[in-house]
Amino acid sequence: MQSVSKIKEVREIIKDWKSGGFSIGFVATMGYLHAGHKSLIELARQQNDRVVVSVFVNPTQFGPNEDFAKYPRDIEHDWQICQEAGADLLFAPAVTEMYPDNNLAYIDLKELGDNLCGASRPGHFRGVCTVVGKLFNIITPDQAYFGQKDAQQLAIIKKMVKDLNFAVKIIACPIVREPDGLALSSRNAYLSTQQRQAALILSQSLQAAQELLLKGERDAQVIREFISEQIASEPLVKSDYIELVDTLTLKPVKNITAPILVAAAIYVGKTRLIDNFLFEEI
């Protein structure tokens, strides 16, 4: 596996691959890779001739009071995971490489990024879209792999690709969980043993809500209150949002008549965790 940090180097490698007629799969990450990322890289490996992974903690998607400086980083471990999962190229640029001088161009999908995670993280999706757009322009992948865990990010990136005519197919990949149900996240590293135990209420309450939906409940307010009560029963956890939204517009639904996304975010101490499920059987 090759590892580079300069855009010029990536472009040269990609040019070479493209002239050889190779298809390119891409996994964008902020590093501190875990089994969830590994599953994306492995799928990209199966479906493409060449696989690129980017590791870049993107400052523009962090708010002023968020964890950019202390976001976990371990490039050697990331290298190892990429190697094991069969990546061909690891692109780990510096901030100055991705945002030289005075970067004035941003990609903002406005209202799609205003609710759910966007409500408590203003500007977050503008930063995500900008960096993903830049990475797509640098790597020019045929297929790019994103986890369903970041459901709003996935929906926004799909819309960005459609609206801006990026020539890349977005592949959604299932949430990877610990055996006890906790969705894998780099931020799980912040949790103490006690907090990690408390955090399970998120996946457990969503799982129970899914069962209510399967039994026929179609009132979004009932489902929301049910999840809210479950989360409130865990003293170490504070709910950030619980939403039932249309899978494409991300607008809240009242009566469940079409495929929906049930998404929630919680704070366990200062750590913010998200989880969700899609309910498609009507």
For binding to ligand PAF (CB under 6 A), which residues are involved?
A: 28-30, 58, 61, 128, 131-132, 150, 153
CB atoms < 10 A from the CB of 87, how many? 26
In 3D, which of 12, 10, 16 has the Cα closest to residue 28?
10
Please, which residue, 37 or 224, has the CB nearer to ligand PAF?
A: 37
CB of 147 to ligand PAF, least distance (A): 7
Answer positive or negative: Cα dihedral of 114, 118, 122, 125.
negative
**Cα distances (Å, whole numbers) of residue 214 to 21, 93, 217:** 46, 45, 7
For residue 240, the SS3 value is: strand
Please, which residue, 173 or 227, has the CB nearer to ligand PAF?
A: 173
124 is catalytic: no
**Cα distances (Å, whole numbers) of residue 153 to 37, 148, 201:** 15, 9, 23
CA 197 to chain centre: 23
Please, which residue, 150 or 275, has the CB nearer to ligand PAF?
A: 150
Active-site residue, from 34, 37, 77, 124: 37
DSSP tag of 69: T
Phi–psi pair at 6, nearest 5 degrees: -110, 140
Distance, in Å, from the CA atom of 184 to the CA atom of 201, rounded to the nearest integer, reads 14
In 3D, which of 30, 40, 26, 29 has the Cα closest to residue 147?
40
Please, which residue, 58 or 230, has the CB nearer to ligand PAF?
A: 58
The residues, any chain, with a CB within 8 Å of residue 123's CB and separated by 6 or more, are 60, 61, 63
In 3D, which of 172, 175, 199, 173 has the Cα closest to residue 277?
175
Please, which residue, 30 or 244, has the CB nearer to ligand PAF?
A: 30
Phi–psi pair at 219, nearest 5 degrees: -95, 115
CB of 92 to ligand PAF, least distance (A): 12
- The answer to whether residues 1 and 82 touch, using CB atoms and an 8 Å cutoff, is yes
Please, which residue, 28 or 201, has the CB nearer to ligand PAF?
A: 28
Residues that are catalytic: 37
